Amino acid sequence: MSGRFPAGCEVLVLGSTIEAARSARELLTLGYGVHWASPDGPPADVPSPRPDLSIYERHTLITLDGHVGAFTATLSDEFGRAIHIEISAVVVATGSGQGPPPEIGGPAASPWLLSLSHAERRLTTDHLRENSLAYRLTPVALVLDLGEQTGKERATAALHLVQRLRRRSHAEIYCFYRDLKVDSPGLERLTRELRRDGVVFVRYRGPDLPMCEGDEGIVIDGPDGPVHARPVIVPERVCPRDDTAALAAALRVRLGEDGHFQPINVRAYRAGLASRRGIFFAGRCHMDCSLEEAEADAEAVVAAVDALLGRGYIKSEASPARVDAEKCIRCLTCVRSCPHAAVEIASYDGVTAARVAEPACFGCGICAAHCPVRAIEMVGSALPARLQGDPV
C-alpha cells in the first residue's frame, strides 16, 4: 500500500530562457512559490515583483540534497557565495548551446560564408533596403543539414531570415536541405509561403554538399548543377550548454548520448520527467524543438508538477523498497546502483544503514536485486523462489 508524504508548494526554476519564463509564470498562476535561478544574468520576461517570486541572477545550482517534496538546493553566485533554499520540485529549463557551423572545407575562410547569427546581424532591414539591387544580381544560398540535421530552432530562424531577405530585396534564393522536418508549429506553412514567393528548395544527398570559392562568391555543386551564390548562410550546430555536465552531476541525473538531458524517462515514458523524482526538464535542454514547442513543453511540465504537488502530499509507489537495517553491511551497493537517487546512508533505529526514501522510490527493484546480503525487500512482493533462503 502506498504511503502519503507531505509536500510544500515551493518550486525551483533553473534557466533564463523563454521556456523558463513560461514555467515560472504558469507556476505562479497556479499558486506555487517560485525560486527562479538564472545562470546567465537577468532572466527573460520577468514578471512584476511579487512576494511569491524570488529571482537569483547569475546563480548556479551546486547541490540538490534530499528528495522530492523535501529538497534542499544550494545555489552559488558569481562570487562563490552560497545560499540554501527549501523546495519540493525542480524545473530545469536552461536551454541549449550553439556550436560553430559544420566544417565545409574549401571556402571556410571566404567572406561570403556566413553563420546564421552573423547573417542576422548583417542582413538588417536597413542593409537590405540600401543594397537590394546587389542582392538581385547574385543568388543567395541557405545550406541546412550539413553533416547532421539542423536543429529545429536554428532551421526555423534561418527560414524566417530567408523570407525577410526575399521580400525586402527580391533576391534569388536557394535553400539546400537534406532532411528538413516541418513538424514544428507554423513551419510547414512557412515553407509553402517561401515556395510561393519564389525560393527554390533543392534536396541533396548527404552528408556533405561540395562547395568551392569562385571569383565572385561561392560555387555550390548542387544535384541539378552548379549554383554561384553570395552570401552562403550556414546555421550553427545545436549542442549542450557548457555547464550541462556539471548541472547533471548536481542534480544526480544522467545525460543522453548527445550530451543533453535525457529526453524521455524510459520507465514512465513521458517527456519531461527525470530519472530522479521531482526533477523536470522543459524545452531545449532535453529535446530538439522550436521556440513555440519549447513553450508548449514548459506548459506540459508545469501540469506534471501540479499533478505531483497539487494535492499537498506525495504518494509513494505501491511497492517501494525497504531495508532491513540489522542485515545491512553498509557496502553502498544499493546507493551506487539506484538510478533514482532514492537510497542513502543514515542513522536510524539505533544503527547506521542504508535507507530508502519512499517518496523518491520508483519501486524498480534494482537495489533489492543487487544487495549481496538480501537486506532489501520490495514491500508487498516476495522474492523469487530461487533467491529465497540465506545468501551464500
Q: What is the pLDDT of residue 176?
A: 95
The reply to whether CATH 3.10.20.30 applies to domain 99-238 is no
Topology given in CATH for the domain delimited by 4-96+240-315: FAD/NAD(P)-binding domain (3.50.50)
- What residues contact 31, with CB distance under 8 A and at least 6 apart? 9, 52
The helix, strand and coil proportions of the chain, stated in percent and rounded to the nearest 5, come to: 30, 30, 45
- Class assignment of domain 321-387? alpha beta
Summarised one tens digit per residue, pLDDT across range 78-127 is 999 999 999 999 999 999 998 887 766 555 567 888 889 888 888 776 67
| CA-atom Rg of the chain in angstroms | 26
- What is the layout of strands, in order, in the sheet containing 232-234? 113-115, 232-234, 140-143, 173-177, 200-203
In the chain, ranges of CATH 3.30.70.20 domains:
321-387
Q: Is the peptide bond before 207 cis (omega within 30 degrees of 0)?
A: yes
In the chain, ranges of CATH 3.50.50.60 domains:
4-96+240-315, 99-238
Q: What is the pLDDT of residue 1?
A: 47
- pLDDT over 50 at 365, yes or no: yes
Summarised one tens digit per residue, pLDDT across range 147-200 is 888 988 899 999 999 998 888 888 899 999 998 888 888 889 999 999 999 999
How far, in Å, CA of 63 to CA of 260, rounded?
19
- What residues contact 89, with CB distance under 8 A and at least 6 apart? 11, 12, 68, 69, 71, 278, 279, 280, 305, 308, 309
